[in-house]
Structure 1
Amino acid sequence: MSLDNATAMKLKLSVLVFLFTCVSLVAQQLQLSDDAKISVITIGPGESLNDAFGHNGFRIKDRALGIDLVYGYGEYDFDAPNFYLKFIQGKLDYLISRHPFQNFYYAYTRANRNIEEQVLRLSKEDKQALFNYLENNYKPENRRYLYDFFYDNCATRIRDVTQTATKSDIEFVTPKDVEQKTFRDLIHEHVGLNSWGSFGIDIALGAVIDKQASPQEYMFLPKYIHAFFETAKISTNESLVKSATTLYRKKESNTTTSIVLTPIVIMTLLALCILFVTYKDYKNNTRSKWLDVTLFTSTGLIGILILFLWFATDHSATALNYNVLWAFPLNILAIGQLTKPHAKTWFKKYLRFLIIMLVLLSSHWIIGVQVFALGLIPILIALLLRYIYLVKWFK
């Protein structure tokens, strides 16, 4: 059955009116009410290394519109092609996330992590601008960004978005109790010096993180976002934070970490094994080839990994890594000489070169060029004595 022209026109007009009404309603829903609140959420450290530094997010709450959302940066995109390769290379795009606050709160209370909220003193226009910015950032075409642990992460984005999206002049005042520290010092605040997390970080990250961090740069850590927002001022010279609340306090547990499995203990045991075998070789006038092959293979492979992180990735923190002074990549090429009864002249000189490298490492550590993992100390001593023994053996 066909419609006459007049009826068809009326139907088209009704559809247009309906669509216009829907668009208007959506637009109205995106306009925050006068009672809307925008706050910064700070999540305390968790148990795993991945969670050791905490997290930040924006909370947008508007009872009139029924909105209570948390926006955060730094979510993994597990659907990205070649996820693990890109992650290692530092080329992985991260995502902005958006979750209902109820789900967000449930997840972090279940994980027993502190949740703190700072409600921001923003004008209605600034609240709307910040909300619009986050909504636009959450669009599929805008969600991805290249993550950097120190300069563009879940914490720094909170600072940068607040300054970028609002018209108010925001000044971050350095808290009085903030001491001058390096990036590595700041990392060690969250991972203990004698932890495996610290051990791995101190081997993988180079001398670039041993420079003094400026107060602004402290805000790569979520706890310093909380601290700097607390003392921040807006253009009216009022405090940026209108009110602060602890939404959840972590429940303390009696769990203790066994000192037996810490890096210093394990590395000391390995070093004692190396020294014991070296002493037995000295007493028996022999050489345990298996030990030398093991040492040269392991240090060589670690050195290759360090060079890969230094030169073949986009990670800014893995540059200038002087751990190659003990984990020397060319050790791999020298393994063949260790299986022979008599070494060539170049290898004898190479052994002396390795000893010089260990001395250079010590000087780098003493003058502060780079701080190395504490757990390495017994291994470095054992390597030095083993190299000295090899020099005498092949003399």
Structure 2
Amino acid sequence: MCLSSVATAAPRIGVITMQPGEIFFERFGHNAIVVDDPSLPEPLSYNFGFFDLEEPGFLGNFIRGEMQYRLAVLPLADDLAYYRDVGRGVTIQWLDLGDARATALAQALAENARPENARYRYDYFTDNCSTRVRDALDGALDGALRRQLQGRSRGNTYRGDAVRLASPAPWMWLGFDLGLGPAADRPNSLWQDAFVPMRLADALRQVRTPDDRPLVATEAELLPHRLAPEPAETARPWWPWLLAGLAIAGALSWLGARNPRWPALFALPFWSVCAVAGGLMLFIWCCTAHRFGWSNQNLLLFNPLAVLLLPGAWRLMRGRDPGRLFGWMLATVAIGAVLALFLHWLPLLPQRNVHWIALLLPVHAGLLLALSPNRTGRHA
């Protein structure tokens, strides 16, 4: 009688949340669903975060926004071993789903983990390892998770969380901040916030089951966190960026009044960066599926047209006339930066790039003033 009872007992379902790591793709944390089935020798971890670097065309798929991830199932002890070795903390939330829902979820996960079903097209914000955990739980709860989280918001955005969590790696947060367009700046619901594993863990604590019981029955720490903590939420003031931009613009104007070679020496690498960064933004918009990088208004600040200014800057450094179209193109690039400010003021689809506008609009204006053909005595 006891053996029969154990054999038919429903599994326990838990969600494990791993704290951020030090490698760039570990900066955002991770999570997985644990199925503790009494009929199996040990708990299993259903982990949606596996990808294959050796997969043919992996790099090209990554660049185009067509990367494939898959669900893998492995013993929980094996899944935890890596996080123990690198010092990443892990907590578990045991869920009160009820026997029928827990059994149905375990069966659905096992079916999803079959080789023919395991792969999915990854999207960093809307279809990642954490949103897959969220969606699996929502299915087991007959949509109750989404209903309780969709209409509530803390004002977080995809850009805000991406930049915050990437902040320990300067190149990484710069990439997110410059490369994301206005679609990343809409306030998220708690449902959308769940693309971050730690946000999902916070949300689960507030959810109630369809039977009006707290979804999270108990929580426990499986591994202590020995690395730096998750970056805190901090406001980003724009005025230091404006002060820096005005200081650079003032210096350029002062130097240009004495010898245009000096502002041209600054302009050459600056316009090169604008051309390369703007070219990448344009490529993301026109040639990839990274839709959160589309319509990026930073294109007006890092204008790809700056590449046409490079020959003129080189001529100015050598004391020569910059060319007939230099003045017109110089004004066009500066007007683009003014247009970025105008678009920021519009309520239609604002992009949270005021700090970049505050820095770069004065710089473009300073270069226009310092290198204008009328000021340098040259003719466009």
TM interval, shorter chain, is 0.7 to 0.9
Residues 345-373 of structure 1: CA distance to partner in whole angstroms, max 9, x if unpaired?
54312211211112222344456711238
Whether the 8 Å contact between 2:17 and 2:197 is mirrored in structure 1 is yes
Residue 367 (structure 2) pairs with residue 382 (structure 1): no
Candidates 321, 324, 334, aligned match of 1:355: 334
Q: Contact between 2:24 and 2:169, CA under 8 Å: does it hold in 1?
A: no
One of 283, 301, 305 as aligned partner of 1:326 = 301
Match of 1:108 in 2: 83
Higher Rg: 1
Shift of 1:111: 2.2
State the match for 1:13 in structure 2: none
Are residues 193 and 346 of structure 1, via their aligned partners in 2, closer, same or farther at CA, if it must alter by over 3 Å? Answer: farther
Match of 2:274 in 1: 299
Query: Residue deviations 1:72-130, cap 9 Å, x none?
Result: 11322223211111101101111112222112222112222221111122233322322
Which residue identity does 2:289 align to in structure 1? D
Query: 1:152: how far off?
Result: 0.7
Distance of 2:144 and 2:167 partners within structure 1? 34
Query: Which residue is equivalent to 1:187?
Result: 162
Partner of 1:204: 179
Matched letter for residue 389 of structure 1: A
Deviations 1:327-359 (A, max 9, x none): 111222343333443345543122112111122
Question: Is 1:67 matched up with 2:42?
Answer: yes
1:131 maps to a residue whose letter is A
**C-alpha contact 1:71 1:134 (8 A) present in aligned 2:** yes
Aligned partners of 1:337 and 1:347 also within 8 Å: yes
Q: 2:103 is matched with which residue?
A: 128
Whether the 8 Å CA contact 1:32–1:62 is kept in 2: the answer is no
TM-superposition CA deviations, 1:292-335 (whole Å, max 9, x none): 33332221111111101111111121111111112111222343
Q: Post-superposition shift, 1:50?
A: 1.8
Do the aligned partners of 1:155 and 1:219 also contact (CA within 8 Å) in 2?
A: yes
Equivalent position of 1:11 in the other structure: none
User: What code does the residue aligned with 1:69 have?
Assistant: L
Checking the alignment, whether the CA contact within 8 Å between 1:38 and 1:60 is kept in structure 2 is yes
RMSD: 3.5
What is the match of residue 217 of structure 2?
242
Whether contact under 8 Å (1:57, 1:72) holds in the other structure is yes
- 2:61 paired residue number: 86
Letter of the 1:225 counterpart: L
Residue identity matched to 1:353: T
Q: Is the deviation greater in 171-180 or in 292-301?
A: 171-180
Can you list the C-alpha shifts for 1:249-270, whole angstroms capped at 9, x where unaligned? 313669x9xxxxxxx999x999
Give 5+ residue unaligned stretches, structure 1. 1-30, 257-263
Report how many residues are paired.
356
Alpha-carbon distance change, 285 to 71 in structure 1, aligned in 2, over 3 angstroms: closer
CA contact (8 A) 1:168 1:234 kept: no
SS at match of 1:157: helix
Residue aligning to 2:235: none
Aligned pair 1:170/2:149, yes or no? no
The answer as to whether partners of 2:47 and 2:71 remain within 8 angstroms in 1 is yes
Task: Give the equivalent residue in structure 1 for 2:236.
Answer: none
Secondary structure, counterpart of 1:342 in structure 2:
coil
Are residues 317 and 104 of structure 1, via their aligned partners in 2, closer, same or farther at CA, if it must alter by over 3 Å?
Answer: same
TM-score where L is the length of structure 2? 0.81
Would you say the 8 A contact 2:338–2:361 is kept in 1?
A: no
1:244 aligned counterpart, secondary structure? strand
Most deviating of 283-292 and 352-361: 283-292
Structure 2 Cα separation of the partners of residues 177 and 284 of structure 1: 58
Q: Which amino acid aligns with 2:366?
A: L
Q: Tell me the CA shift for residue 206 of structure 1.
A: 0.9
Q: 2:115 & 2:260 partners in 1: Cα distance?
A: 69
Aligned twin of 2:22: 47
What corresponds to 2:120 in structure 1?
A: 145
Stretch of structure 1 that moved more, 278-287 or 230-239: 278-287
Q: Partners of 2:117 and 2:149 in 1: how far apart?
A: 32
> What residue in structure 1 maps to residue 352 of structure 2?
371
